[in-house]
Amino acid sequence: MALATLAFVALKRRWAGLLLIAASLTFAGGASNLVDRIMRGSVVDFISLGAGPLRTGIFNVADVAILLGGVLMVFGSGREDRVDAPGH
């Protein structure tokens, strides 16, 4: 339901620029987690990055996209970019 609402609002308000990127990241991450849950019963897109002995924690790629999209949405909401329809 949240994914549908996000897509509806982004299309209805004609988001562009930073808000469109934020909505796209959030939607893609959420959709990826949803598909994993439906198809496999659990989320599977985990990754651990590193160079030599220096390693990151293990994290979920889709959750990173959702978090980044949410942060960008907060920063972009103050200057809502929109594509105005012709004649407006």
Active centre residues (catalytic) = 45, 63
φ and ψ of 59, to 5 deg: -135, 165
Residue 52's contacts (CB-CB under 8 Å, 6 or more residues apart) are none
Token pair belonging to 65: 């996209």
Residue 87's contacts (CB-CB under 8 Å, 6 or more residues apart) are none
